[in-house]
Amino acid sequence: MRKKKSIDAGAQIAARNRRNFLKVSGLALAGSGLLLASCDNDDDGMKQMGGVFDLGTGDTGVLNYAFALEQLEAAFYTNVLDGSYWASANAEEKAVLEDLYNHEVNHRDWFKAAIDAIVTDSSKRLPSNLEFDFSGVDFSSRDSVLATAKALEDTGVGAYNGAGIYIQTPAYLTLAGKIVSVEARHAAAIRSLINPDGDFKAFAGNDIVTVDTGLDVAYTPSEVFERAGAFIVTPFTYNNPGA
Amino acid sequence: MFSQLGSISKKAAMLAVPFGLATVGNKAYAQESGDVPAIFNLALTLEYLEAEFYMKALESPVLGSSGKAREIYEQISQHEDAHVEFLKAALGDAAVDKPTFDFTAGGNFDPFMQNSTTTMDSAYAQLLALAQAFEDTGVRAYKGQAANLIGQGGLLTAALQIHSVEARHASEIRRLRGLEGWITGNQRGAGMPAATQPVYDGEQNVEQGGINVTTLGSGSPFSMDSSTQAYDEPMDGETASTIAGLFIVS
């Protein structure tokens, strides 16, 4: 076990260096996990060391991308509902966070089913067991939980809005639309929970909705991974969303 | 993005009459895939309606001079005004003119307390109910057009970016009214007039991409409530126009 830890440390440094390289080179990388440079380059994606799963392109890429983000949110809210802040939160906050958990779990499982049905090559389906790291979140703290929820929901909105252009099938654009508006409802609710007696405009504040145009955020995958990547351990890339 | 507007302006000559009670049944407002002027003019009409509604709400005595409701309406008003300007700029010559609105819907409502027989409480309740109806309609109407904007690049992205803002609005107005920010089944919610039910019809759907989401697992994430809350449903252009038409005089 001790030996494995020292390998982990070295690989983490290598992973960070590689991530920085990939950022500089314009490629989108998520996941701070082990990126071992010296293993066989097999085609089994995540199951082999050295092969990093790419989300793909077009419809497949967007479905996998959304699945990754819904896995992240579902895992986060699972932790929230297991935490001591939620256990003793006021009725409104308990109800909202439980609803968010319910919705994200539903979304996550829907994407898995949809991907299984739509992505016929199973090696191109994002695995359903992504690993996350929430050690930076204090689930006993209202401030920590709500701030993280806000970041994840706003990032989710930005991710869906930014990914619309990569969808090739009109029906999938409609489906993505059905979900992004719910994420936006979530984001507004969390923002207003954080500011109950203070900033009544925070639900759709000038920090997230551009003043001149009234437009919400729309992020590139790289921007999404900058915001959410710290939580994602399992590495994957999204190098060519629009190809 | 605005470099794409040249193609929108060329279609201006083909635009038909604006929305209104008189045009219900007129196919002029039918939106087809790729018909950006028709799609954006539907959006613009809804934004004109919302912008004028919020402006009039803020000018009325109903929201008082300060407080939570006033601040929420101010922020929404800022956005709707910006949406009008954005869509008008995108459409250029193809932009429809602002219709004449009647937010009493022919005497059925008095959200601005213009009638001496309307109490402040009653006007306030109607003001909030109409806002909820407009925002939830806006979300569904934009969503109904998203697929028609496939391939339209920055114009699609912009439409999505307005759509999610309307959803933020809808969430907060609903929560201001004491409801949840999301829609359960086809419930219009407590205090919503029966006339607003068309805004919510169809929201009970649980078939997403041919998959009944209630069957994906067990427990509360897959209840009817959760399963209908987790997805908002599109609304076709005709339905959206009909709803807007209730408040349009000409």
pLDDT digits (tens, 9 = 90+) for A161-211: 999 999 999 999 999 999 999 999 999 999 999 986 789 999 999 999 999
CB-based contact A242:A32 (threshold 8 Å): no
Average pLDDT, chain A: 86
Task: Give domain A2-237's CATH number out of 3.30.9.40, 1.20.1260.10, 3.40.190.10, 3.30.1950.10.
Answer: 1.20.1260.10
Block residue for tokens 């001079």: B65
Residues B150, A213: C-beta atoms closer than 8 Å: no
Residues B157/A162, Cβ–Cβ less than 8 Å: yes
Q: Give per-10-residue mean pLDDT for chain B (250 aa).
A: 36 31 39 93 98 98 96 98 98 97 95 97 98 98 97 97 98 98 98 96 98 98 98 97 94
pTM of the model: 0.88
Rg (alpha carbons) of chain B, rounded to whole number? 18
Q: Strands (DSSP E) along chain A, which ranges? A: 29-30, 53-54, 236-237
Q: What residue of A is the nearest CA neighbor of B175?
A: A189
Q: Do B143 and A181 touch (CB under 8 A)?
A: yes
Q: Is the pLDDT of residue A57 over 70?
A: yes
Closest chain B residue to A206 measured between Cα atoms? B75
Residue B248 pairs in a beta bridge with B101
How many domains does the structure of chain B reveal? 1
Residue written as token pair 């219709």: B99
Who contacts A190 (Cβ-Cβ below 8 Å, separation ≥6)?
A96, A100, A146, A149, A150, A153
Token duo for residue B57 = 């709400």
Measure the CA–CA gap between A186 and A154, rounded to whole angstroms.
9
Asked if the structure places residue B97 within a domain, the reply is yes
State the CB neighbour count (10 A cutoff) for residue A218: 21
Predicted ipTM beyond 0.95: no
- The residues spanned by each domain of chain A are 2-237
pLDDT beyond 70 at A2: no
Mind listing the pLDDT tens digit for each residue in A142-172? 999 999 999 999 999 999 999 999 999 999 9
* Residue B131, domain extent: 31-183+207-245
Q: Which residue of B has its CA nearest to A112?
A: B216
Q: Are strands B207-208 and A53-54 parallel, antiparallel or unpaired?
A: unpaired
Measured CA to CA in angstroms, residue A174 lies from A140, B207, B241 at distances of: 38, 13, 19
Instruction: Report the alpha-carbon distance of residue B51 to residue B59 in Å, rounded.
Output: 12
Per-residue pLDDT at A16 exceeds 70: no
B4 CB neighbours in chain A (<8 A) are none
Which pLDDT does position A198 carry in this prediction?
Answer: 87
Q: Enter the tokens of residue B55.
A: 């402006």
Residue numbers of B between 164 and 193 with CB closer than 8 Å to A: 164-172, 175, 180-182
Interface of B with A in 66-95 (CB under 8 A): 68, 71-72, 74-76, 78-83, 85-86
What pLDDT, on the 0 to 100 scale, is given for residue A29? 64
Chain A residues inside the 8 Å CB shell of B178? none
Q: Is B218 on the interface with A (CB under 8 A)?
A: no
CATH of the domain at B54: 1.20.1260
CA atoms within 13 A on the CB side of B160: 36
> Rounded CA gap, B118 and A163, in Å?
48
Contacts of B250 (CB under 8 A, 6+ apart): B20, B22, B99, B100
A107 contact residues in B (CB cutoff 8 A): 230
d(CA A100, CA B125): 28
Round to whole Å and give the CA distance between B160 and B168: 13
CB pairs under 8 A between A and B: 203
Residue A206 to residue B162: CA distance in whole angstroms: 14
- Token pair in block for residue A130: 């992504």
Residue B167 phi, psi dihedral angles, 5° rounding: -70, -35
Cβ pair A204:B143 closer than 8 A: no
Answer whether residue B141 is part of any domain. Answer: yes
Residues 102 through 121 of chain B touching chain A, CB cutoff 8 Å? none
* Residues of A with Cβ-Cβ distance to B233 under 8 angstroms: 178
The tokens of A62 are what? 């967007």
Residue pair B88/B95 in contact (Cβ under 8 Å)? The answer is yes
User: What's the gap in Å between the CA of B174 and the closest CA on chain A?
Assistant: 10
What are the phi and psi torsion angles at A29 (to 5°)?
A: -125, 135
